[in-house]
Amino acid sequence: MDFTRYSLRHAGPIFSLNFAGQPVLVVGNASMAADLMERRSAIYSDRPRFIMATEILTGGMNLAFARWGDRWKRMRKAANIGLSNAASQEYTPMQEKEAIHLLHGLMDGKSTVDAQIRRTSASTVLSAVYAYPLLESTSDPCVVQVESYVDRMLKAALPGNYFVDIFPWMMHIPQWIPGARWKREGFEWFKKDTDMFQQLVEDTHMEQASKPHFRGKLLENAAEHDLDPVETAWLAGTMFGAGTEALAATLSFFILAMVLYPSIQHKLRDEIDAVVGAPSGEFDNTKANFPTFQDTKNMPYLHAVIKEVMRWRPMGPMGVPHRSVQDDVYDGHFISAGTLIISNVWAMHQDSSVYQNPEQFIPERFLAEDNITAVQFPDTKGLGHHGSIYRMCIGYHVANNSLAINAANIIWAFQICKAKDPLGNEITPDPDALLDEGLAVRPMPFNCTMTPRSPSVAEMISVAARRVF
Ligand code: HEM
């Protein structure tokens, strides 16, 4: 966020820094970022050598932080088979069930909205990756372990968080000397996380024969992928780590937007009702229709709302850092090989020359005048914050499907309003109060009320939840 403030106020859309000898280029303009990371992607698709994140904690096997090279290429190719647009369609029946499970969790009020969103995101990704059964709570031991791994990674990947990343010679310090606890513990975590991911791959008891899953696709085509068992385990584990936090944060920002912009919530509900039908006053089990993926295809405003959520509050305000592999000159800047490139996504999305009133939540900016045709993020092949060419988010289709089906179901089923204090005054959440989790941000947990639109909706949710589980 400091980069954003600096780049908006002082330094312009592109500026360079020197971070203890490490050249850094911060790009806060979408068109310039596309010039570098899309149009010159062969130069700018490496990741920095974050010794703690890419070597010690993950042995070079976390796809998201892996250096550009043979292993990353093999892993990325294998991952693409299990997460392509076509493969992602196989996970949609599970995502429809998850959406109903989420409605049930939000309605029964036993845990907070934040906890429910974290649960459903973990459950969706675990289910797509391992055919893990739908999660009842985030205190599932597997989730607790993986979340602790994600937490370490997000912090380790933030430039400057570990001295060894600034002074690489520290990597040669023997583990046993006092003061090298970071190294000892880092390698211990690597071993524990490797065991955990291998266990998850080998755990056949959770496999539900008819349920498609990413791990199955990796194992089926193991010879073709040319990945050894440890690489396979890390590839699957990385998906959980990379996907859960991003999905949960984006869904939370969606709810926040719906609380803060009730007129947009109503407009979205009108679109959903027009496609699915408004819930009737009387419960009729034969007509119990929740929004499905067949329906969301016909909801252009829903997709515009989701794009606007990701523009208004991108969960990765600095993207994931890239690194250049050869000297280059761009816009008068000499960019030496080895420069760390930071995409200032937040600044790009707040650029008033691209987005009018950027601080306002206005989904209409992603619809053409006919209110049907989608307008894409400019200069990014429509991917917006999902990244650039070679390193673009590989879970993009799974993520977009999850966002669409959950958003449609929540708005169809509930009226979302601001919470009230004991005196009956509305509490307005602060859209700028963010929890900073290293590379990722999410809204500071906030209160709101989610009320089923009618008693029949509440009954439908209860009946459907019993059917789903
Ligand atoms: C709304 C949810 C999501 C958002 C906003 C998001 C965003 C991103 C971004 C910005 C990148 C970095 C791209 C770059 O470096 O240029 C990325 C990479 C990645 N994402 Fe996502 N992501 C989401 C969901 C997911 C899901 C569900 C999965 C897995 C199932 C996933 C797996 C990955 C992986 C493995 C990478 C690293 C790719 C590489 O470096 O080759 N993401 N994501």
CATH code of the domain occupying 2-468 = 1.10.630.10
Block residue for tokens 């649960």: 119
**Ligand 1 touching residue 318 (CB < 6 A):** no
CA of residue 242 to ligand 1 center, whole Å: 6
- Positions at the binding site for heme: 393
393, 396, 397, best to mutate for ligand 1 pocket (most atoms within 8 Å of CB): 393
**Ligand 1 touching residue 32 (CB < 6 A):** no
Atom of ligand 1 nearest to the CA of 388: 16
With 0-12 CB in 10 A as exposed, 13-18 as middle and 19+ as buried, what is 21? exposed
Phi, then psi, of 326 in degrees rounded to 5:
-150, 160
Q: Tell me the CB-side half-sphere exposure of residue 419, using CA atoms within 13 A.
A: 13
CA of residue 452 to ligand 1 center, whole Å: 33
Q: Which of 10, 17, 28, 11 is nearest to 358 (CA)?
A: 28
**Chain Cα centroid distance, residue 186:** 25
The crossing angle, in degrees rounded to 10, of helices 300-312 and 229-260 is 100
Contact between 265 and 416 (Cβ < 8 Å): yes
**Ligand 1 touching residue 384 (CB < 6 A):** no
- Positions at the binding site: 393
Q: pTM of the full predicted structure?
A: 0.92
The Cα 60–Cα 53 span in angstroms is 8
Ordered by start, the domain boundaries in the chain are 2-468
CB neighbours of residue 348 within 10 Å: 32
pLDDT tens sequence for the chain (469 residues): 565 566 555 556 888 888 778 899 999 888 898 899 888 999 999 998 889 988 999 999 999 999 999 999 999 999 998 999 999 999 999 999 999 999 999 998 778 899 999 999 999 998 998 888 888 877 888 778 888 888 888 788 776 788 888 788 888 888 888 778 889 989 999 999 999 999 888 876 555 556 788 888 888 877 888 899 999 999 999 998 889 989 999 999 999 999 999 999 999 999 999 999 988 766 666 666 899 999 999 999 999 999 999 999 999 998 889 999 999 999 888 999 999 999 999 999 999 988 999 999 999 999 998 888 888 776 666 555 556 677 889 999 999 999 999 999 999 999 999 999 999 999 999 999 999 877 889 999 999 999 999 999 999 999 988 876 6
